[in-house]
Amino acid sequence: MDNFEPERRHVVDISGLNSFLSKMYGMMTLAVLVSAISAYLTMTVFRTQVLTFFANNRAISWVILIVPLFLALGIGFRATRNPVASFIMLMALSLIYGIEFALIAGAYTQTSIASAFFSTAAVFITMAVIGTTTKKNLNNIGSYASAALIGLIVAMLINLFLRNPMVSYVFSFIAVIIFTILTAWDAQKMKQIYLQYGNDISANGLAIAGALELYLDFVNLFLQFLQIFGFSNKD
């Protein structure tokens, strides 16, 4: 009987891991859908009301830029302690980003938006699968990508003053490479965290934290692809 014990434990671990990954990717997908629906409704059904509201309330524009940052921080700190509240914050974050996407999308054609979305989905799914299944440790390349992202953000801030569209175009390609790497790294990292600490913390909370990281990777990939296709489709 004891000879079968290691085998049984292995099956239980795999079952728990699969359940965790299903929850994490399920919530991440739900967040993307909420953003997509929110953006669609903002651009169609509520377009006039939303544009009028923001035109008359300029300060609100800054609010919807800042609030998601606090929501993301709140999820990061509270996910494993209060999964329900963190899930609500994740959905609120997705809703607000959907409104922001709708406002940004006004500057792009439907072709650019569709191309950006499908490109993002293809890259994200590929890298998430690689990050989840590969046995190669991605910590080093992930750390390099994180450092590169900090440098890129600084360069982008400088370019806000230079207003050079070609530089922004090049930066978008660099950002796509960085977030492509980060997607695989985050997927692997969340799997490793679950395998190491899954029995000591809330698996649901950890799944929400992972969903947030992967959702932000998806969002950033989409925004960079949108800029690339938007620039390419200009007359």
Q: Is residue 50 predicted with pLDDT exceeding 60?
A: yes
* Between residues 13 and 39, the one the model is more confident about: 39
* Between residues 173 and 108, the one the model is more confident about: 173
Nearest CA to 126 out of 217, 16, 216, 47 is that of: 217
Torsion, Cα of 95, 212, 223, 123 (10° steps) = -130
Average pLDDT in the chain: 88
Rounded Cα distance, 208 and 23, in Å:
8
Rounded Cα distance, 162 and 165, in Å:
9
Nearest CA to 25 out of 192, 223, 191, 198 is that of: 191
Q: Is residue 9 predicted with pLDDT exceeding 50?
A: no
pLDDT tens-digit series, residues 191-207: 999 988 877 888 899 99
Rounded Cα distance, 70 and 66, in Å:
7
Can you give the pLDDT at residue 115?
Answer: 93
Can you give the pLDDT at residue 232?
Answer: 65
Instruction: Please state which of the ranges 24-33, 61-70, 77-86, 226-235 shows the lowest mean pLDDT.
Output: 226-235
Q: For residues 183 and 129, is the Cβ–Cβ distance under 8 A? A: no
Grade residue 210 by pLDDT with cuts at 50, 70 and 90. Answer: very high
Q: Is residue 56 predicted with pLDDT exceeding 50?
A: yes
Q: Is residue 61 predicted with pLDDT exceeding 50?
A: yes
Q: Which secondary structure element, helix H or strand E, spans residue 234, and what is its range?
A: none
Grade residue 4 by pLDDT with cuts at 50, 70 and 90. Answer: very low
Nearest CA to 50 out of 99, 113, 106, 109 is that of: 99
Can you give the pLDDT at residue 233?
Answer: 65
Residue-wise DSSP of 112-133 = HHHHHHHHHHHHHHHHHHHHHH
* Terminal-to-terminal C-alpha distance of the chain: 73
Q: For residues 39 and 104, is the Cβ–Cβ distance under 8 A? A: no
Q: For residues 176 and 145, is the Cβ–Cβ distance under 8 A? A: no
Q: For residues 50 and 99, is the Cβ–Cβ distance under 8 A? A: yes
Nearest CA to 141 out of 189, 110, 182, 107 is that of: 182
Can you give the pLDDT at residue 60?
Answer: 75
Q: For residues 211 and 109, is the Cβ–Cβ distance under 8 A? A: no
Can you give the pLDDT at residue 186?
Answer: 96
Can you give the pLDDT at residue 77?
Answer: 87
Q: Is residue 11 predicted with pLDDT exceeding 50?
A: no
pLDDT tens-digit series, residues 114-157: 999 999 999 999 999 999 999 999 999 999 999 999 999 999 99
Q: Is residue 2 predicted with pLDDT exceeding 70?
A: no
Q: For residues 71 and 196, is the Cβ–Cβ distance under 8 A? A: no
pTM of the model: 0.88
